[in-house]
Amino acid sequence: MTLATLSDVLQPALKGSYAVAGLVCLGWEDMRAYVAAAEAEASPVILQAGPSCRAHTPLPILGKMFRHLADRASVPVVAHLDHGHTVEECRQALECGFTSLMFDGSRKPFAQNVDETAKVAEMAHAAGISCEGEIGFVGYSGGERSAGTDPDEAAAFARQTGVDAMAISVGNVHLQTDRSGGLDETRIGAIEALTRVPLVIHGGSGVPTAQRAHLARHSHVCKFNIGTELRQAFGGALRDAVAADPDRFDRIQILQDTHDPMVAAARAAIRSVKG
């Protein structure tokens, strides 16, 4: 069994100057491919269940799916709740077997974010699992605008919450479909000068590959969340599978054709953050 907590994989990454991929899951086909990719790369992997995944599949089922894959994997697998918006949702994920809870209070006033994140961190640590928090709102491509992380607030947030990892807003954007942007490395340096907590970049698909590798090697960024580029790979593979035989209707046969392309895309994502 290789089920791991977030700290189990991020603390070695911090010490070893590399990062771990947090791969956003939407269903069985992609999470199975992600574990196969991690095994092929001999790398740990963080399987992430975000709000859209949870809207499709209930938390108790997701917890069993993640743990089933971890039980049979040859590399460490983290079962991670991504963007939990309430303490109760995080509590439910803990009870469903998740080994890492990300509480997102980034839209809330600083004091409320600290208070609620600290409650989740205390709950997680009491159960022997990990907690990620977010300070500085990370916006969405074509949607809500980001609010950059203030380094002094980040240091206070880390100190007062006791989180094991801290998501920051430094030019990253959720759901970006190209890599034309880039991260503010000066701001990242100012944050890591004030805290040793492993840093997390949400919206990693929008970060140029070379910058991912550079930050993995030379900063405290230990986790890149990657989802959009993998969704694009799945969508392309699914379209190809359907178009290859218009008479084929069996969903299992069609979805099987997405496996190898998804493994390849996930392997590329994992390699890009190894540094």
- Confidence check: pLDDT of 191 > 70: yes
The token pair that represents 74 in the structure block: 């040859």
What is the rounded distance in angstroms from the CA atom of residue 117 to the CA atom of residue 25?
23
pLDDT in tens, 252-273: 999 999 999 999 999 999 999 9
What is the rounded distance in angstroms from the CA atom of residue 109 to the CA atom of residue 19?
30
Give the chain's radius of gyration (CA, Å).
18
What is the CATH T-level fold of the domain 3-272, as seen in this structure? TIM Barrel (3.20.20)
What is the rounded distance in angstroms from the CA atom of residue 132 to the CA atom of residue 29?
26
What is the rounded distance in angstroms from the CA atom of residue 75 to the CA atom of residue 38?
7
Where along the chain do its domains lie? 3-272
- Confidence check: pLDDT of 172 > 80: yes
Beta-sheet pairing, 3-4 with 100-103: unpaired
The token pair that represents 102 in the structure block: 């990300």
Task: Tell me if 267 sits within 8 A of 40, measured CB to CB.
Answer: yes
**Of 177, 187, 182, which is closest to residue 208 (Cα–Cα)?**
182
Residues forming the active site: 82
DSSP β-bridge partners for residue 78: 4, 46
* pTM score of the predicted model: 0.95
State the chain's mean pLDDT as an integer.
94
For the segment 195-222, the average pLDDT, to the nearest whole number, is: 95
pLDDT in tens, 72-98: 999 999 999 999 999 999 999 999 999
What is the rounded distance in angstroms from the CA atom of residue 61 to the CA atom of residue 64?
5
The token pair that represents 262 in the structure block: 């998804």
